[in-house]
Structures are given as structure tokens and as C-alpha cells.
Structure 1
Amino acid sequence: MMRRLRPSRMTWNYAHDTLTLSYEDMPGIYRASDRASETGQRSYMRWSLMRLASIVVAAITGTVSASSKDNRNAFLLFGILAVIAFISALVVEILLLTFRPEEAWYHGRAVAESVKTLTWSYVMQADPFGPNQSNLDADRLFLQRIREVLGGIPAGTRVEASAGAEITSKMRALRRYSFDRRKQLYLAERVTGQLEWYARRAAWNEKRAKVWRAVLLALEASGGALAVCQVAQLLDLNAEALIASIVAAIGAWFGIKQFDNLSNAYALTATELSLVKADGLSVANSESWSEYVRRAEQAISREHTMWLARRVQPRLAE
């Protein structure tokens, strides 16, 4: 799965002021863990694709070599290429098992999402950073909660030190907004922004699932046709084994990307967030606001929690 950075840019314009909480204005630990997650994701996907591609190349060259016994030079050349491809796949697999980039991806994303939820709760004066707390107490509690998030990371997981402040001036400025302004901003940028993100990603994953499923069906049909041709002695090349290897590789890639699971999960989250947005419109006072933000953040983070469980639990089982 290509799990890209969700919208984190918060902008609201007024007649006399403009306040933007951009990516650079988020807590330093958020940016550090987000970068670690993005790097781990790219490495995992790249290496996984290299491993599967090497296996497919090995199948192709091995098939050609086996069909070139009458031509010794071609037999040896493609045989050597098949060995090199298998060795390449083995090396990449060892690198994946040694460096485990997927763990940096998963746990970095977990930290980033948790810190983002804390950030929104802080700037919205929501529980546990309510309006009755002094700015100093709210700051101290925010930093304490970040320490708790970092303390929950599995042993051995590396999170680079952040260079920026954990509570930025923009965060403090947004926290001082009036209730009406904070409500408008939260509904527009946090709730609606996430709703639109999940809706787009649900459609994107559904489309990709259909494309890859069509490719698999076409290859399986081709493999069946080639097998019939070989049984009928119309073809000397043992191509059905090659097609089977390609189908297996694409099936493995399909499983890594989890298009179907993500499409369903994202669509469900988008639907839930549309209900959350409707509830938010009826919140009329700051007393109810804190509870609303808490429920909204739970809805937003629920999908990520389920995503992380789907990713991590199979590895724990292994």
C-alpha cells in the first residue's frame, strides 16, 4: 500500500488576520516520524518490487534456457541469467529481513498520527487540554503526552531526533482563537479535509484493485490456453509454468498493496466522518466542543489503528 501523507496544512483567512499551520508548523516529532515513515514505506515497497521482479525474471530466463537445449550458448546464457535473478531475489529478501523497513513505516506512522491527534486536541482546547487549563499547564501536558506516545514504541524502533519545537508559535496562536473560529476551522480543515482524503483514496484503491484483478484474470486465461496448446503438442515452450510464476508474483504484490481492504476501510471511514461532520454543525458551545473533538479524533484515528493491526499482526504471527 502506498500510504501517503494525509493533509496537515490548516489555513483560515479573516478580514484582519491570516493564520496557517503548515507542515513546518507542526510539532518537530511529527515531522521526524512522518519522514521516517515515508522513507521506510518507499524502501519496503521498492525492495519488495525488486524481489518479485527478480523472481519473474528468473522464471522467464529459466524457461527460455530450458527450451534452448539445442543451442548450447543460449542454454548457458539464459541459465546464468536465471541464477543471477534468483540470487538477486535472495539478497533482497535478506536485506528486508535484516533492516525491516516496514517497521519504520508502521511505527513511524503510528507516532505521526498520534502526535497529529494530540496537536489538534491542543489547538482546539479539547480534552485533555481544556480551556480551564493555563497555557503553561497545557504545554506541559502536551509534552507529557508526546513522551507517552514515544514510550509506547516497540523496542528497537528508531525515531530520529526532531530539530523543531514541539509546540510551535502557530499552534499557540490557533489555541487562542475564539470558539466560533476554532469550530469553523476544525470542521473545514480537519474533519472535511480527512473526509475528502479518505473518499479519494477509497476510489483510487478501488480502481487499482479492478485493474490488477483484470490483469490476473487475463494471465490466468492465457496460462490455461498455453497449457491446452502444449497438451495438443502445438507448442514446445513450457510457458504455463512461466505464467503461473508471473501470476503468483502479481498476486503477492496485490497482497502487499491491499487495494481491496484499503478501499473498503477508507470508504467506511469517509462515511463515518460525514456523520461526524453533521454532528459538529450542531455543537453550540465550548462545553460540548471538547467531547465532540474527542469523538471526531477517535473516528479519524480508528482506521489507522485497524490498518496498523492488519499490518503488524501477520508479522507477529510469522
Structure 2
Amino acid sequence: MTAATTPAPSFVLSDRDLPPLFRLSDQGALRHQSDSFKGVRTHLLVLLLATTAAMLVEQASGRLMAVCAAALYGLTILLGLRTARRRSRAHWQAHRAVAEVVKTLAWQYMAHGGPFHSRVADPDAMFAERLEERLRELRKCGWEDSRRGIGERGLGQITPRMRAVRAKSYAARRDIYLRDRLLEQALWYKNRASRAHRSAARWSALTAVLTLLALAAAMLRTAGMLGGADLAGLLSAAAAAGVAWQEVRRHGPLTHAHSLIEQDLETTRIAMSTTVTEAGWAEAVGEAERLMSPAHTEWLVRFGG
């Protein structure tokens, strides 16, 4: 498939031109995502250290090592309780949902896409209404609104650059959307799929090596060549921790999902730059935004797992 050429308008949009709530929610999502992954990683490492200490107790029968093992197992319980109390994953998902809702509404508003087609009498009022309606739904799911004052709600989220893009001609809006939204997102999904694939390959190789070493250790112990050391158990625990980490990061399913979305976006971008007319533009933008929605990604991840 030959990629369609997209004109390069001088009007360049970035995240700074999107609603302030998007930037705030995006930063919050990244922060809570990092906290969530750090919590799981620390939990797994401490549990593995506790397993190592327990194995050494069997070997050395030392009181100090037994105390260390007990303390480490106790620490894993405390870490689990702390993770449950902080709810970093829930906060991460809530902030990400808000960021994506705001971003897709902003782009539909600017491009005259979806419900914000050119025939809408008051697009600003529609944007404010749709935004607050979606945010009310997310508040029911646990999202905490940090905005203060009426100026940060509804119409206050429409930036001057957003209004400037919406006021442009169809051709200019089309070129901006194709380049700064579809092309940028297609490249983002392509890069993320590549990174996830490399991570999946590394962790799969590591867990395979640990499993083979555990098998070898078990055979050597059976033959009486390792004494009483339960290296097989320790290596098996390490392999299990590696598998658990892969499940948390979902490298394999995300590779599948992001690759499919990148292909669909590229196909959509070509169609929108060559065959889609102004009459069908709003519907095409709505479908493109659906492809980039978190719900669509989760659906693909479920079937790619």
C-alpha cells in the first residue's frame, strides 16, 4: 500500500494547544502509572528476596536468616496493603480516561468531526455540554475533579488555538487533522508496538532461561549433586515473578493491539486524504477517533492476549 501524501500546513498543533484539563490529566495518568508499576515491581522483588531467605534458612538454619525471611514476608503483606490503599492503578486509568475524552472531543471540535459538524449552530456550547456530561460519568467511576472555578469548566477548556483551527477552511482543517492527529498517532502506535514487542521478547527469553535452569537444578538435586539446596524452587519463583511482571505490563497483547490500530489509522488516513469528501468528513473523523479510544484498545488487548 502506497502511503498518501499529506500537505504540511504551517499551522502546527501540539498538546499545549489542547484544553488545560487534558495536560493535567495526562500528567496525572503518567504519574499514577509509574507509581502502579513501581509498586508491583517492588512487591515482586521483595517476595523473591523472602523466598531466597527462606531457602537459606533451610541450608544454614540460622536464627538471623529466619528473622530476615519472616520480616521480608511481612513486608510483602504490608506492600500489598499499601498498594490496595493507594489505588494507583485505578487513579491511573481514571486520569487516562479523562485525558482521552478531552483530547478526542477537542480534535472533533477543531476538525468539524463527529457531532461537531459544520452545520452545528453553537459548537462551543455543544463542546462544553458534551465535555461536562462525559466528566460526570467518570466522576461516578472515582475520578476526582481538581478544577476550581467556573472559568476552568466547559467553555473554559476551549483554547484560542482550537477556535482558530475550527475557523479555518475545510482543506486547511483536513490537512491539520491528517498530519497532527492521524499521522502523529499512527507513528505513536507504531513505536509503542515496537517497544512492547522488544520487551515481550526479552522477558519471554528470561523466563524461558530461568525455567530451564530450574529444570536442570531439579535434575541435579535428584541425582544428589546439589545437596539440600532448593535452587529449583528459587529459580521457579524467579520465573513466576517474570511471568507475573509480563502479565502486569501486557507486552504481548499491547503489541498486537497497537499494531492493528497503527495499520487501521494509516488506512483511514489514506482514505481521508484521497476519497473522503467534505460531506462525509464528520463521520470519517468520528470513526478515526473511535479507533484511538481506550475502549477500542482494551477490546483488541482482550483478544490479543
Q: TM-score, normalised by structure 2?
A: 0.88
Q: Tell me by how many angstroms 1:76 deviates.
A: 2.0
2:90 counterpart of 1:139:
no
Q: What SS class does the counterpart of residue 152 from structure 1 fall into?
A: helix
- The answer to whether structure 1 residue 97 and structure 2 residue 84 are counterparts is yes
Equivalent of residue 204 in structure 2, options 189, 213, 233: 213
Match status 1:267 vs 2:262: no
Pick one of 130, 133, 140 that aligns with 1:148: 133
Question: Distance in 2 between the 1:261 and 1:284 partners?
Answer: 32
Give the corresponding residue for 1:157. 143
Deviation at 1:283, TM superposition (A): 4.3
Q: Aligned to 1:67, what secondary structure does the other structure show?
A: helix
Matches within 5 A, 1:1-318: 13-14=9-10, 19-69=11-61, 75-134=62-121, 137-153=122-138, 154-161=140-147, 165-236=156-227, 237-283=229-275, 285-301=277-293, 304-308=294-298
State the Cα RMSD in Å. 2.2
Measure, in 2, the Cα distance between the counterparts of 1:270 and 1:49. 29
What is the CA–CA distance in structure 2 between the aligned matches of 1:306 and 1:175, rounded to whole Å?
26
Give, in whole Å, the separation in 1 of the partners of 2:72 and 2:252.
30
Compared CA separation, residues 309 and 294, structure 1 to 2 (3 A):
closer
1:113 and 1:170, CA in 2 relative to 1: closer, same or farther beyond 3 A? same
Change (3 A) 1:143 1:233: same
Q: CA deviation at 1:23?
A: 2.2
- Per-residue deviation, 1:285: 4.2
| Cα deviations by residue, 1:66-100 (Å, 9 ceiling, x for unpaired) | 2112xxxxx12222221222122111110121221
List gaps (5 residues or longer) in structure 2. 1-7
Structure 2: how far apart are the matches of 1:168 and 1:67?
Answer: 67
Offset, 1:293: 0.9
* 8 A contact 1:33–1:109 mirrored in 2: yes
Helix, strand or coil for the counterpart of 1:157? coil
Query: Residue 12 of structure 2 contacts residue 176 of structure 2 at CA under 8 Å; is this kept in 1?
Result: no
Residues matched between the structures, number = 289
Q: Contact conserved, 2:108 with 2:114, CA < 8 A, in 1?
A: yes
Name the CA shift for 1:273/1:311 in 2 (closer, same or farther; >3 Å). Answer: closer
Identity of aligned residues (%): 25
| Residue type at the aligned position of 2:295 | T
Question: Aligned letter for 1:221?
Answer: L
Tell me the amino acid that sits aligned with residue 195 of structure 2: W
1:199 and 1:267 in contact (8 A); partners too: yes
Post-superposition offset of 1:267 = 0.8
| Aligned twin of 2:5 | none
Cα 1:114–1:49, aligned 2, differ >3 Å: closer, same or farther?
same
Distance 2:286 2:37 in 1: 34
How many Å separate the matches in 2 of 1:47 and 1:290?
Answer: 43
Q: Deviations over 1:289-318 (max 9, x none)?
A: 1122112112222xx214456999xxxxxx
Amino acid aligned to 2:128: L
Structure 1 portions without partners, runs of 5+: 1-11, 70-74, 313-318
Alpha-carbon separation, structure 2, partners of 1:59 and 1:174: 59
Q: 1:197 to 1:156 in 2, by over 3 A?
A: closer
Q: 1:256 to 1:279 in 2, by over 3 A?
A: same
Give the drift of 1:241: 1.1
